[in-house]
Structure 1
Amino acid sequence: MDPRHDRIDTPPRERLFNAPLLAVLVAVSMPVLYVFQSGAVDQWISLAFVPTDLERGRWGGLVSSMLLHGNWPHVLMNAIAALTFGAPVARLLRGPAGMGAFFTLYIVSGVVGAAGYGLLHLDSSDPLVGASGAIFGLIGAATRLIGVPGQSTGGRVMPLTARPVVTASIAWMAVNAVIGLIGLAPGAEGARIAWEAHAFGFVTGLLLIGPLARLFGTPAAAFDSRDVMGDPRS
């Protein structure tokens, strides 16, 4: 008997932690930056976004405010969300071009989120900090990638009008409204929650993932499920 036919090939082990490196780096950067922020004398408050700055032409805070957070619960909640919802987006947008597309979606969602909040509160001088607008951009993008329970989109972006997308979007905005209006968020401690920035960021990610996926996406390979049973042939 040929000993080669008695050998049983052991399938490769599935990695316990399978998150894309890009999503991990974004998540890890938040607590690392907050360590430096909390150790600074001024808490880097000069980098925060203030709505009144829009009329003054000071727009740098739209980007720099994403590097700041209010407290540890705030930063940890955003880091977990970045890892959770950034993962499916990073799996689709792979390679150097995909990485650029990922950060484009992330940063543009954060900027639009902060700008939208600022336009609704032009007379406010309260500083806005946090990457929540960018995080909700990832949530919006992931909403079109996750699909329905028990099914996979195979790396394809679902249409905006698909039932799972519409249902999930309504649910997210309802939760966002409750969190913002009632203040049910870890670490809020009486601070105003910029739920409007979340909504603007979510819509931005929801819209951007379509064209970015067409230009830079790498869909997952489809599973070969033939209708004829038999041993695989080389």
Structure 2
Amino acid sequence: MSQSDARSPRPPREKIFNAPFLPLLIAASMPVLFYLQERLPDQGLSMAFVPADLWRGQWAGLFTSMLLHGGWAHVTMNAVGALAFGAPVGRLMERGPGPLVFILFYIAAGAVAALGYGLVHPHSMAPLVGASGAVFGLIGAATRLMGGHGRVLPLFHPMVLRASAAWMAVNLIVGLIGLAPGADGARIAWEAHAVGFLFGIVAIGPIGGWFAARRDLPIGGV
């Protein structure tokens, strides 16, 4: 071995697990919160979102419902989704105020998804629980980030349109047939999923453009 070879720096080791911290934290929090939920006197039912409550001025459920789940399969599915699709969003928002923006984005997606469901079923007394609306917000955002090489793809990019159509088709089929793991006969709020997805795929445009401008990356459009 030559002297120059001995002094050359070793290439950095590739991380085995390279998920951003916040998506990992959100995914890990879900089973912990569900463990605590199961030990509440009403199993968290008082924190669920009931659409009819909107017209009584009770809005807290829009936010607290995303902390609850209907079973361990439900928790697992949402935790995996938050980690997988939150990763590209988290990488975009790693610097500066990015972590705060990520958390606000996630919360807003969940609240808007629940609100959309409430507007579709304004008189329903059936409680809605789960972080699926927020997770679908991450899926919508990730749809415009995957294949963009660090930038947000235009909303009407062919890749984005194809992926969006596929996600909405799967969501509609699962919602109407009820094939989701852990559903156990409960109604699947596919409308909330759709609204969360639409929020994410639209909101990531200006948000991603702002972060891209800070990093001197090309901006992909609306």
Indicate the residue corresponding to 1:177 in structure 2. Answer: 172
Structure 2 CA distance for aligned equivalents of residues 80 and 182 of structure 1: 22
Q: Per-residue deviation at 1:4?
A: 2.0
Q: Which moved more, 1:107-116 or 1:195-204?
A: 107-116
Q: Per-residue deviation at 1:220?
A: 9.6
1:164 aligns with 2:163: no
Indicate the residue corresponding to 1:49 in structure 2. Answer: 49
C-alpha contact 1:156 1:219 (8 A) present in aligned 2: no
Which ranges of structure 2 fall in alignment gaps of 5 or more residues? Answer: none
Identity between Structure 1 and Structure 2 (%) = 58
Indicate the residue corresponding to 2:108 in structure 1. Answer: 108
Indicate the residue corresponding to 1:210 in structure 2. Answer: 205
Q: Per-residue deviation at 1:129?
A: 0.2
Q: Which amino acid aligns with 1:63?
A: F
Q: Per-residue deviation at 1:107?
A: 1.1
How do 1:1-234 residues align onto structure 2 when only pairs under 5 Å count?
A: 3-7=2-6, 9-147=9-147, 153-217=148-212
C-alpha contact 2:85 2:142 (8 A) present in aligned 1: yes
Q: Which amino acid aligns with 1:183?
A: G
Which digits, 9 at most, give the CA deviation of each residue in 1:30-71, with x for residues without a partner? 111001001112111111000000111111100000000000
Structure 2 CA distance for aligned equivalents of residues 208 and 77 of structure 1: 24
Structure 1 CA distance for aligned equivalents of residues 18 and 108 of structure 2: 27
C-alpha contact 2:133 2:197 (8 A) present in aligned 1: yes
User: What is the RMSD computed on CA atoms of the aligned residues?
Assistant: 1.8
Q: TM-score, normalised by structure 1?
A: 0.88
Structure 2 CA distance for aligned equivalents of residues 136 and 90 of structure 1: 15
Q: Which amino acid aligns with 1:163?
A: P
Q: Which amino acid aligns with 2:30?
A: M
Structure 1 CA distance for aligned equivalents of residues 31 and 135 of structure 2: 15
Please state whether the residue corresponding to 2:16 is helix, strand or coil. Answer: coil
Structure 2 CA distance for aligned equivalents of residues 219 and 178 of structure 1: 40
Q: Per-residue deviation at 1:101?
A: 1.3
Go from structure 1 to structure 2 and tell me whether the alpha carbon gap of 1:75 and 1:6 turns closer, same or farther (over 3 Å shift).
closer
Which ranges of structure 1 fall in alignment gaps of 5 or more residues? Answer: 148-152, 223-234
C-alpha contact 1:155 1:220 (8 A) present in aligned 2: no
Q: Per-residue deviation at 1:221?
A: 8.2
C-alpha contact 1:154 1:219 (8 A) present in aligned 2: no
Q: Which moved more, 1:102-111 or 1:196-205?
A: 102-111
Structure 1 CA distance for aligned equivalents of residues 77 and 167 of structure 2: 16
Structure 2 CA distance for aligned equivalents of residues 97 and 73 of structure 1: 33
Q: Which amino acid aligns with 1:52?
A: A
C-alpha contact 2:133 2:195 (8 A) present in aligned 1: yes
Please state whether the residue corresponding to 1:95 is helix, strand or coil. Answer: coil
Structure 1 CA distance for aligned equivalents of residues 12 and 57 of structure 2: 56
Structure 2 CA distance for aligned equivalents of residues 61 and 44 of structure 1: 11
Structure showing greater radius of gyration is 1
